[in-house]
Every structure is written in structure tokens, then in C-alpha cells.
Amino acid sequence: MRRAWFLALAALAWAVCGSAGAATPGSPDVPTPYVPSTTVAVDEMLRLAAVGPSDLVADLGSGDGRVVIAAARDYGARGLGIELDARLVEQSRVHAREAGVEERVSFRQGDVLVADYRDATVVTLYLLPNLVEKLKPRLLDLRPGTRIVAHDYGFSDWKPDRRVVISKSYMLYVVPAKVGGKWRLEAELPGVGHELDFDLEQSFQEIRGGARVTGGYLPAFEARLEGDRISFVLVDGTASHRFEGRVTSSLEMQGEVRSGVGRTLAANRWRATRVIGVGEADDVKPVTQ
Amino acid sequence: MTVTNLNLANPFRAGLLAVGLLTAPAVPAQDVPFVPTPQVTVDEMLRLAGVGPQDFVLDLGSGDGRIVITAARKFGARGTGVDLDYHLVIQSEESARQAGVEDRVKFLQQDLFKTDLGQATVITMYLLPAVTRKLVPSLLNLKPGTRIVSHDFDLGDWKPDRKTYIRKNVFLWIVPAKVAGRWRARLALPPIERQLELEFTQRFQEVDAHARLNGVPMQTWEVKLEGDRVSFALVDSADRENEATLYFEGRVSGDVMEGNLVRGAGSTRVTAPWRAVRSK
């Protein structure tokens, strides 16, 4: 939740406008005012991200610490709050002790744009749109599968994987693996062959592409990417082949391909390795760990 | 399973049909020409509908019988195909024998508008929009949860519940329960008992609801209906110090909807059963 000193005045202006959106565009230096999320909003964010005991929740602009504390107290998670206002950081630590979760949460005074939260499995934010946009490149570089929940203000071009409206809007984004490029796909596909050139184009979690086969092209239907999970369907003359798998590194993905349906279904393993052309190697970065 | 008024891919049949339309037909007027559905699309229709051994698949305009035969052979279902064309019915029966599924499928030379749709758990079709439009009222009266699959042609205003595109568009509709009207529920959520009144409006599976909690009007959120499954959320803010969202999930059966409701989230959430009855 929201950094800033601005406090009463900004918060009041915010409340009066009803929507801060009007005040923001074109004024990138307006700090996000401190507007605490309601209990209902905190619950909805953590619920939408399906936070559990194995998660580390990082709240960017953690205010009085309520998201982080609720994640630890009510969901068994660990938490990290990043907040610019030192007084709010101190207050958060007091609240964490009062809630008995001080061992599982930490609060850092700092700027969300430079803070390090790469270990987080869930990132929550309730920030003004310009700041959300500025954070985007770093959020996209988080480990694939990291869940990001935003409240009221999402990204301009990155569509949420899920959106829920309960009084306010909540958006869930799952950081997509980077899969765009050329791949060599190995799979036992009767009638198609077992090594195909496979190309993918990617825009956030949206992917499209297809496989080159002797004398033709098989489009990848129903191509989906959620975090590191990828799926698509290739169709030959007689059957569909449903590929499901994981992107295991920036250079490899693998999984199972099911050919046919029902009782005629045959399952096989598949694997794809990235094809790196001359001079391209530097463009392929390892998946952020 | 079959259609298109201008089937360029099948000029022979389209030609025959045109001739058939210009001359007095010897057989009952066929509303729909026979255009076989590709096997991959047949597979996808049955997969999308989640067909299994407990299902009874009814194919309206069954052509050469491939959908019903595939449902029996690959998915273990039973099924019936109806078609106006006697020769296609005979051909389908022969194909069923060859596939070894003749004891689980049946083909009838019959007008689909005179067919009892109520026996089916899954209805498949590939009919011209003008024909399906006439079918919609009967389809909506089927048992909630009945699945309808088609390809290429949708059902107009009735939006599909799911859609896939694998060479062709394949659509799935789930017959929605009828929830329009006023409902009353008593919610056993300690410490205070709450009276909930709901007024649902409905258009196909698209639903909305107005609620009153202990007489106080409130907005409902995320109102959804799929078959007989209903869900929605309310923000219970009567007690400002203890605000929480109420998530309702339940099943509709006639004039009763019941299920579980969750107040809040995380370890502080409370679960309680709920049951609403439609007011006459």
C-alpha cells in the first residue's frame, strides 16, 4: 500500500476525485498518496493470488504493513514490505510485533523502483498508474510463475490473467516465461515426424506460432502460456496433438503430448530446445532466478 | 452434424441440393445439406463437451453417423443420431456395425423438430442458423447442465460458455438453470442471523442480482451461472469494524438454491451452509 507523506491532503483529494486516474497522467512525479486498503481489499488481493504457506509476499508501497501482516497472520506466508516513508516502516514493525508475526515479515525503507524483491513468489501493489508502468520491466523479469496482484490500477498493455470486480477491481498477472523465438521440437507424432522447426511469437502471456513440416506449416492452435506452463495444439490430417509442458529454462521446454482423444489417446513425451542463430546468443538471457 | 447453404468445398452436393430445391423433392424438404464434419472437429466437439461413458449423445442431423459413432467408439458413450435422409441413416447403421458399436448407438430417420431432446446429456449439431434459432427455445428448456456443442455456427444471442479454435470454431453451451425471480434465504452466520433477499434477472446464462441484507440494499458482484451452478459475492459491511466479503456458491434445483458460503478469506474465514427459496 502506498508510500508518501502527502497524507491527509492528497488522500482527501484522492477521495474527493473518486478516481486518481484523472490527476495522474502527464504528472509522473506525483507520489502515490498513502491510502490504506480496506480489509476487504487486502483479503481479495491475497485470495486472488491464492497465497499460502510456501509464499513470500512482497508488497510494494507497504504503508502501515497491513497486506504483509495479513499474508503472514491469515495465510501463513512470509512477507516483505517496501515503503518510502520511514515512519510507516517503523509503524509496520510495531504492528507486526502486535500481530505476533515479526519473525515471518520484514519491512524495508526504500524506493520500490530500486528495491530488490526477486525472491518474492507474490507481489502486491496498489500504486498510481505511472508508477505501475515504471515497475513493469522489472516485474516482467521476475521468475516465471510469480503472481502479481494489482488493485484499481493495472498495466496499460499487459492484460491480466484474471480480473475480479468486488466493489473495486483486482487484477492478477502471472509473470510469463520468455518463449518467443525459434525452437527445435522433438516429439513422436505418427504421420508428422519427430523433429519439427517450431516458431513462437510472444507479447506478454499471449503467444502464437506454429511448426514447419515437410511441405507445409501446422499452426499452433489454442496456444497458452501461464507462468512457466505452456500448451498448444498441432493438428495433422487425422488427429490433434495436445502439447502441455513447462518452460524449464530460457533454452528448454518439455512435457507430454497427447495425440487423439478418448480411448484412442496416445501419450508421449516432448521436448523443445531453443535454436540460437549466429550472433544471437547474447540476446538470450538465462531465466531470472 | 452438418451444414452450409453455400458449400464451395463440396460442389457436387451443393449442386444436388440446388437441384433438389428447384424441383419438387421426393423426400421431406431438407432444411440442412449434408456436409461431413472433419474427424478432428468431431473429436474436439466431444472432448470440449467432456463426453464420457455416462453420457447419452444426441446428434441432430447425424449425416453419415460419425459423431455418434465416435462418441461410442472413442468415449464409451451411448447415442442416437437423427437425420431426414433415409440413405444416410442406413449408411450410419452399417458404419456403426463396422465400428462394433451397434449395440450402443441408434439412428433414426426423423425430423429433428419432432425428436425428444430430453433424453440427451449432450446434444451435438451442425445446422444452419435459421434452423438452430428455431431450436433455441426447446434447448433452453432442457435439464440444466445439458451440454450443447456445435461448430462454425453459434446460437446468436445465446453466447457459448466455452469456445475453442482448432482449425474450426467449436462452441459449447451449458443449459442454464432458470433463476429469474425473487429468492429468500436465512444466513446462519453468528453472531447475528441475516435475512437475504435476492432478485435475479436472467438472459440465457447471463445473470445479475440485486440483494438486500437485513433489508439494506446492496450490490452483488461476480454473479455467475453455469448449468445449475450459481455463484456471487456481497460485501457485508453492516459492521464497519468487521467488514468482509461473502462468497456464495450453490446449486439450483427448481425453486431451491443451496450450497456453501464463505465469509472473508484466509485463516479468519468462516464457512456456513446457505439455502434460498424462490418466492412465488
Do A45 and A164 lie in a common domain? yes
The answer to whether residue A1 sits within a structural domain is: no
Which CATH number belongs to the domain containing residue A241 in this structure?
2.40.128.120
Q: Are residues A126 and A261 in the same domain?
A: no
Looking at the structure, do residues A53 and A189 belong to the same domain, yes or no?
no
Which residue has better confidence, A214 or A161?
A161
Closest-CA residue of B relative to A70 is B266
pLDDT above 70 for B163? yes
Last residue of a domain, one of A136, A154, A174: A174
In a domain, A71, yes or no: yes
> How confident is the model over B61-87, as a mean pLDDT?
97
Residue B26 has pLDDT above 70, yes or no: no
- Give the pLDDT band of residue A29 (cuts 50, 70, 90): low
pLDDT of residue B242: 83
Answer yes or no: do A224 and A108 share one domain. no
**CB distance B67 to B39 below 8 Å:** no
Say whether both A51 and A97 belong to one domain: yes
Q: What is the pLDDT of residue A214?
A: 78
Three-class SS of residue B148?
strand
Does residue A69 sit in helix, strand or coil?
helix
Give the pLDDT confidence score for residue A240 in this predicted structure.
92
pLDDT band at B7 (very low <50, low <70, confident <90, very high): very low
What is the reported pLDDT for B236?
A: 87
Report the distance separating Cα A65 and Cα A71, nearest Å: 10
Mean pLDDT calculated for residue range A149-164: 94
pLDDT tens sequence across A6-17: 333 344 334 333
Query: Above 90 in pLDDT, residue B31?
Result: no
pLDDT at residue B130 greater than cutoff 50: yes
Q: Last residue of a domain, which of A142, A174, A206?
A: A174
Please tell me the predicted confidence (pLDDT) of residue A31: 66
Q: Which residues of B touch A164 (CB under 8 A)?
A: 221-222
For each of the domains in chain B, give its residue range(s) and CATH number, in order of start. Answer: 25-174 (3.40.50.150), 181-278 (2.40.128)
Q: Are strands B147-151 and B162-166 parallel, antiparallel or unpaired?
A: unpaired
- In the prediction, which pLDDT does B37 show? 86
A244 and chain B: CB distance < 8 Å anywhere? Answer: no
CA distance A91 to A250: 41
Q: For position B30, what pLDDT does the model report?
A: 60
Residue A146 included in any domain? yes
Which among A125, A153, A174 is the end of a domain? A174
Q: Which residues of A touch B221 (CB under 8 A)?
A: 164-167
Would you list the DSSP string of B88-111? HHHHHHHHHHHHT-TTTEEEEE--
| pLDDT, tens digit, 9 for 90 and up, residues B246-271 | 999 999 999 999 999 999 999 989 99
Q: Does residue A216 belong to any structural domain of this protein? A: yes
Q: How far apart are CA A7 and CA A34, in angstroms?
A: 6
User: Does residue A266 share a domain with residue A234?
Assistant: yes
What is the pLDDT at residue B149? 98
Q: Is residue A13 part of a domain?
A: yes
More confident residue, A189 or B226: B226
| Contact across the interface for B164 and A39, Cβ inside 8 Å | no
What pLDDT score was predicted for residue A281? 55
Across the interface, which of B46, B73, B265 has its CB nearest the CB of A43?
A: B265
Give the DSSP letter string of A94-136.
HHHHHTT-TTTEEEEES-TTT---TT-SEEEE---HHHHHHHH
Q: Do A205 and A65 share a structural domain?
A: no
* Residue A289 placed within a domain: no
A168 with A39, same domain? Answer: yes
Number of independent structural domains in chain A? 2
Which residues constitute the domain of residue A231? 181-283
Cell numbers linked to B93: 447403421
pLDDT, position A3: 40
Which residue from B46, B243, B244 is facing A261, i.e. has the nearest CB? B46
**How much is the mean pLDDT over chain A?**
87
CATH number for position A135: 3.40.50.150
Angle CA(A151)–CA(A52)–CA(A3) in degrees, nearest 5? 35
- Separation of alpha carbons B133 and B147, rounded Å: 17
Picking from A84-93, A176-185, B223-232, B264-273, which range would have the lowest pLDDT averaged per residue? B264-273
pLDDT in tens, B178-187: 999 999 999 8
Contacts of A237-240 with C-beta under 8 Å, sequence gap 24+, read A237/A191, A238/A191, A238/B39, A238/B40, A239/A191, A239/A264, A239/B39, A239/B40, A239/B43, A240/B40, A240/B43, A240/B44, A240/B166
Tallying the residues shown for chain A, one arrives at 289
Query: What integer is the mean pLDDT of B194-223?
Result: 95
Q: Is residue A28 part of a domain?
A: yes
* CA angle centred on A228, ends A223 and A233, rounded to 5°: 20
The reply to whether A197 and A138 lie within a common domain is no
Under an 8 A CB cutoff, do A221 and B165 touch?
yes
- Predicted ipTM of the assembly: 0.82
Task: For residues A188 and A167, state if they share a domain.
Answer: no
- Whether A216 and A99 map to the same domain: the answer is no
Considering only the beta carbons, identify the residue of B40, B237, B244 that sits closest to A240: B40
Residue B146 CA to chain centroid, in angstroms? Answer: 5
Residue A2: inside a domain: no
Q: How far is CA A259 from CA A187, A194, A240, A242, B234, in A?
A: 11, 13, 6, 6, 44
Residue B4 banded pLDDT, cuts 50, 70, 90: very low
Are A170 and A188 found together in one domain? no
**pLDDT tens profile A243-277:** 999 999 999 999 999 999 998 899 999 999 999 87
